[in-house]
Amino acid sequence: MTVELRVLQPSEWDNWYEGLEQAFGGVRQASERRELIRELTDPTRAIAAWDGAVSVGSAGSFGFDVTVPGGSLVRMAGVSEVSVAATHRRRGVLTSMMRRQLDDLREWGEPIAILTASEPAIYGRFGYGVASWQLMCEIDTSRVRFAEPEGPDGITLRRVRPADGLAACEAIYARTVPERPGMIARVPGWDRLQIMDSAEDKAGGSDLQCVLAERDGETVGYTLFRNRPVWDNAGPKGSIQLTDLYGLDPAAYSALWRFLWGIDLTSSITSQNRPVDDPWLHLVSDVRRCDVRTWEGLYVRLVDVGTALATRTYRTGVDLVLEVEDAFCPWNEGRWRLSGDSKGAVCERTADAADLVLSVRELGGAYMGGISLSSLAAAGLVREVRPGALAQASAAFGSDVAPWVPHNF
């Protein structure tokens, strides 16, 4: 077997994408979704692995602007479309594509790569660290009360067709992007993916539904969801499957949750991906009956440690030397002095003694402010050399708002 890696040619896209679909189980996606993905895929950023004329591997990336702690947007490579044919697995094809991709990103001057993984065991070896958790829930709305704060909110709700409400929803989404690390600014085209409504998206549920929250004629929030009607011997037991819910203020946010809670003939709300500090957790009468679970969400890989650490700000002042281990990208190895605060940062090579020793994977994990360096140290993954350095670094890297990635890619 000789596998050759090449940049994808547009004419090869069908072959390449079919290989990807095969690797994920062989179910062909709806043509509308396929065509949109084709449009969104930049072939010049996509790696194709070929065994003769057969496409046996894929690895793409999208250029995204992502919020980092402090609120600014930083260009990152959103790695996706990764697959190796079942006939060619466990022979190093993925490893060779990851090698090529990280070399390319370095050459293109893109200091950070991010992804969400199909399985947690895959990407740590390439220097990706878990940088956020996401919350899943199944709320028993027949037993759990939504204890909304009292007071007039002036909110009215309006149901619209998702396509008709898209511009208003996207305007709300855009306003929330700078408020939370990990949020990805929408690139034109990706908004259409949000309201795609093929049979595979519905999976037994209704068409996608959209409700806008408005105050004085201004949109101040929205929710996208499906209703999945279920009846059993005891009567109706439908479920609301929540896709999106954003409110610009507490009143708009609560009004949307209250609305979902009260939909007749349903007794649960489920979501696969909410932030771990979602405010509704404080507004329910019985959080145990909300069946809250967590998954790891975003993975971060610092491609160029110096540039990456200098592109975010720090919650408190920091001035210390990090000794970084990075076997897969050895150009990052060695000691870096990081000095910064809430206004900006500098990170440069130094010959000074190390204050903290850690691998690039842990540094990527801590980058978005949601995984504390102290907890990584407690796990034995960060070593404090100078007493006090860990507390200083952990406070500086942290974020008040948990990182979260609601944007699929």
Ligand X SMILES: CC(=O)SCCNC(=O)CCNC(=O)[C@H](O)C(C)(C)COP(=O)(O)OP(=O)(O)OC[C@H]1O[C@@H](n2cnc3c(N)ncnc32)[C@H](O)[C@@H]1OP(=O)(O)O
Residues identified as active-site: 123, 409
Q: Are 254 and 149 in contact (CB under 8 A)?
A: yes
Asked whether the beta carbons of 272 and 399 are under 8 A apart, the reply is no
Choices 105-113, 117-125, 324-332, 398-406 (CB under 6 A): range interacting with ligand X? 117-125
Query: Shortest distance, CB of residue 115 to ligand X, whole angstroms?
Result: 4
Q: C-alpha 65: how far from its chain's center?
A: 12
> Does the footprint of ligand X cover residue 47 (CB under 6 A)?
no
* 95 part of the interface to ligand X, by CB under 6 A: yes
Does the footprint of ligand X cover residue 298 (CB under 6 A)? Answer: no
- In terms of Cα–Cα distance, which of 408, 332, 397 is closest to 181? 397
Applying the rule CB under 6 A, the residues between 206 and 265 that interact with ligand X are none
What distance, in Å, lies between the first and last C-alpha atoms of the chain? 31
* Rounded distance between C-alpha atoms, residue 322 and residue 52, angstroms: 45
Q: How far apart are CA 364 and CA 214, in angstroms?
A: 39
Q: Is 94 in the site for ligand X (CB under 6 A)?
A: yes
Rounded CA separation 394/248 (Å):
30
| 3 state DSSP class of 137 | strand
Q: Among 218, 222, 239, 221, which residue's Cα sits nearest to residue 230?
A: 239
Q: Could you tell me the smallest distance in angstroms from the CB atom of residue 59 to ligand X?
A: 8
- Least distance from ligand X to the Cβ atom of residue 8, Å: 15
If binding is defined by CB under 6 A, does position 105 make contact with ligand X?
no
Give me the phi and psi of 97, to 5 degrees please.
-70, -40
Stretch that binds ligand X, among 32-40, 113-121, 169-177, 184-192 (CB under 6 A): 113-121
> Which range binds ligand X by CB under 6 A, 39-47, 110-118, 324-332, 391-399?
110-118
Comparing CA positions, the residue from 329, 319, 295, 321 lying closest to residue 112 is: 329
At its nearest, how many Å lie between ligand X and the CB of residue 126? 9
Figure out which of the listed residues 1, 27, 121, 199 binds ligand X, where binding follows CB under 6 A: 121
| Cβ proximity to ligand X, 83 vs 394, nearer residue | 83
Q: Establish if 61 lies at the interface with ligand X (CB under 6 A).
A: no
Binding site for ligand X (CB under 6 A): 23-24, 79-84, 89-95, 115, 117-119, 121-122, 125
